Amino acid sequence: MALRNDQYNQILREYDNRRFQNKHDQDKRIKEAYEKVPELKQLEEEMITLAAQSGRMALFGDNSVMESLKDKALDLKARQIELLLSNGYPADYLELQYQCSKCKDTGFIENEKCNCFKQAIADLIYSDSNLKNILKRENFKTFSFDYYSDDYVDEKLGLSPLSNMQKVVAECKSFIRHFDRECKNLLFMGNTGVGKTFLANCIAKELLDRGYTVIYLTAFRLFDILEKNKFSKDIESSYTASNQFDYILDCDLLIIDDLGTELNNTFTSSQLHLIINERLLRQKSTLISTNLSLDNILASYSERIYSRIISNYSIRAIIGEDIRLKKTIGNLSR
Ligand SMILES: [Zn+2]
């Protein structure tokens, strides 16, 4: 997973900035809390004095005194937390806060790249995808069942769009809960606008928040990258594409959105098989969304792809009306 030096340095600089910002934010919080609750500042001073005393005592090796100093330090800490909570602050308000508590915003855990670092690389490579902004709008908190009707039962599924969606969402949440233990793959099928992409984004957000690496690509863009990987004569762009391919095979979750909207040919078919197969071998989860029916998948791609999907993916139909259309009409009539 090589990265160009300037890209690597750019990420390291971002980590530096993040840590600098963390310290700045902490100073601000401390200043504000001390102004509001002066006793917190006195406590801090007592703690510093105590730490200095302990340091001196440690030199003399006087254990009984050391123990009593330790107890005193614990008392001070407890009093500090009590004060913070009673003033409406969280208990860790005065501590440094990290975006990634696993690596404390260093990007590394014992010389190994932290997952947040890997995600930063993926984000950098796909710098034209603004997934993060989309995920602020499209997540389980903003997800609404209101768009799914309970007025009729779909013949094939034997469920109303609403009960079907409730079932699918519950399964998605279970997929997330068991993500570290179980390699599962999902295929969302359904017409345009029924919320397949939204649901995929909900899952992406939850997993990113839990520190997994997620790559989201529309089928169109995925095959565009692969095409460049294979055919580009331009060394610079083929180098980037080859990096991208590594991540596509190796990220914790790969989302291929809108399968079937790409320009389909033998190349896309063979590449899709390679990705699906390789990720199965590596025990990495893949989520595919498509407007195609299973018959269409068989007709558009190969028998091999079809059988891989049938036997390794949980296939879920999503039904309902076109939500985008509903939203637009809703906005117009407002
Ligand atoms: Zn991290």
Report how far ligand 1's centroid is from the alpha carbon of 218 (Å): 27
Query: DSSP secondary-structure letter at 146?
Result: G
The confidence score (pLDDT) of residue 232 equals: 55
- Residue 19 in 3-state DSSP? helix
Report how far ligand 1's centroid is from the alpha carbon of 180 (Å): 17
Report how far ligand 1's centroid is from the alpha carbon of 88 (Å): 29
pTM exceeds 0.85 for this model: no
Q: How far is CA 116 from the centre of its chain?
A: 9
**Residue 114: exposure state from Cβ atoms within 10 A (0-12, 13-18, ≥19):** buried
pLDDT tens, per residue, the chain with 334 residues: 456 677 788 899 999 999 999 999 999 999 999 999 999 999 999 999 988 888 887 777 777 788 888 899 999 999 999 999 999 999 999 999 999 999 999 999 999 989 899 888 877 766 545 677 788 889 999 999 999 999 999 999 999 999 999 999 999 999 999 999 999 999 999 998 899 999 999 999 999 888 888 989 999 988 888 887 776 555 555 555 566 678 889 899 999 999 998 888 888 899 999 999 999 999 999 999 999 999 999 999 989 999 999 999 999 999 998 887 777 777 666 5
The confidence score (pLDDT) of residue 322 equals: 84
Alpha-carbon span 197 to 220, nearest angstrom: 14
Report how far ligand 1's centroid is from the alpha carbon of 286 (Å): 23
Report how far ligand 1's centroid is from the alpha carbon of 22 (Å): 14
Report how far ligand 1's centroid is from the alpha carbon of 116 (Å): 4
The confidence score (pLDDT) of residue 128 equals: 45
Report how far ligand 1's centroid is from the alpha carbon of 33 (Å): 28
Q: How far is CA 330 from the centre of its chain?
A: 31
Report how far ligand 1's centroid is from the alpha carbon of 236 (Å): 29
Report how far ligand 1's centroid is from the alpha carbon of 114 (Å): 5
The confidence score (pLDDT) of residue 1 equals: 41
**Residue 3: exposure state from Cβ atoms within 10 A (0-12, 13-18, ≥19):** middle
Name the fold adopted by 126-332.
Rossmann fold (3.40.50)
Report how far ligand 1's centroid is from the alpha carbon of 74 (Å): 30
3-state helix vs strand vs coil in the chain, percent to 5: 60, 10, 30
Token pair belonging to 309: 């999907």
Alpha-carbon span 263 to 99, nearest angstrom: 40
Report how far ligand 1's centroid is from the alpha carbon of 120 (Å): 10
